[in-house]
Structure 1
Amino acid sequence: MVDRAFALLAAFTAARRSMTLAELSRASGQPPSTALRLARRLVQLGALERDADGRYVIGLRLWEMASLAPRGHGLREAALPYMEDLHEATHQHVLLAVRDGAEALLVERLSARAAVNVLYRVGGRLPLHSTGVGLVLLAHAEAQFQDQVLDRPLVHEPEGVPVSPTALRRALAEVRRTGLAVVERSEPGPLVAVAAPVRGGDDRVVAALSVVVPAGGAEARTLSPALLATARALSRSLGSPRSAAASGGRPVPRP
């Protein structure tokens, strides 16, 4: 029953935010009678709601529970002051993501009104192999997990360009060496993403922080100092011994 209820909730996506019972049944793979019974119970519990047209939407109770996730909301609360400073310095996109399974999950994004167009929304998933935050998280993942990712056919989307495993391994080694991932993309528009790791109390990489700007708007070398300083300051606030040692025990100036 839990699996069926979760399948019903998981049927909602960014492109499918509200559904009729028939649509919910098809999207979740549940028979109409089962979908109706589960939907009614989830409405009673507040996990689903009905909008003005009677269509099912995700309920506030589910959002309330999700906000307790420490890798999402807790990390976001700690990161927001640092992200706001970085956003003020760049006036573009500042992203914070964590690894969830074989993807990166975007937990926060600050964006200026005139910022370059990007594909990913808060709560959305990003590929590990072709985004700045993804490369940082993949570079610091376990070797066995990296091998599993690299053993699969990988393609840059939406460009449809195949990824070379050899080139990707070199890129991951460079991320570990420099502490930065730099990605240039042509879709949805020419842009440059620069990302850095965020470390937690055990000094493991718990998240990735990124700045995304239009191609030609800024070079990676001009963004890197502010990004690295911000990522280290955030890491130190999370208890990272490495970041505290790197700053000599003193606060790292914010950009």
Structure 2
Amino acid sequence: TGKSLREGLPRDFLGYMGTVYADADADADDEDGEGERGGPKLPEGLRQAYDAAKKRAAEGKADGEKDGDEEEEDEAENPPGDDDEEEEERRRRRRLSRLRSTFRSEARDRILRVCRRSLNLLDEGCDQIGKRFLSDRQPPHYTPTEIDSIKEGHPPELKAIWPDTLCRLSRPGVARLCVEGDKAVVYHCGDNAREYRGNPLSPMEFELDDAPALETLITTVEPRWVMVKDLVHEDVEEKMEIAKALYDEGILAVCQTGNR
């Protein structure tokens, strides 16, 4: 394990963390109230060895008892100092339990910090996946009806955007809006080559305050339309320029209303 991974860990934590020490949680003194309960159990092999050692110790103690009067038997069974040793053992187990509890609490906090940081990166990660998908996919193959509504199928006199022009994305999924720093960036697959990644993506950069209007255009798909003047922006000229930029890229379908 590298030094950076061990940084901040308690000193000698390996002396009380591990499956061998797991029973310190269950065996902690109930009167103390600080030991963890329901912790992981020892592996079966270690459990059997532990029980066998306890049994041998108990049998050896029984074989060593001497006959005598009741006072001598009590003294033999509970020689001076046994109570102190048992109390010391209980204190040791309580101390181990507290150390394990502190270690687990700190580990949980650090894991949660990593999880929170990862959650904050979810949106950025999804944007990366979305851009990679757009880069990998084939360019859209439009139907004759779709071609009639995009720049490719329009005569020059109809290639203008007005406040009352109806707009929508040429096809669902052909473009994605991302926020990168202080820019709103639109990625699309309209210029993709038939060969795999034959053409790199050519992102379109806009000011950040254009993002609401861009989002409306990119999320409006068949059968719905949105009128240019209804886009979210302060200036109607800016609304027309945003729609015109997407239209010129061939990813915005339009429908003119009224006579021009």
TM-score (norm. length: structure 2): 0.21
Rg comparison, structure with higher value: 2
Greater helix fraction, Structure 1 or Structure 2: 2
Greater strand fraction, Structure 1 or Structure 2: 1
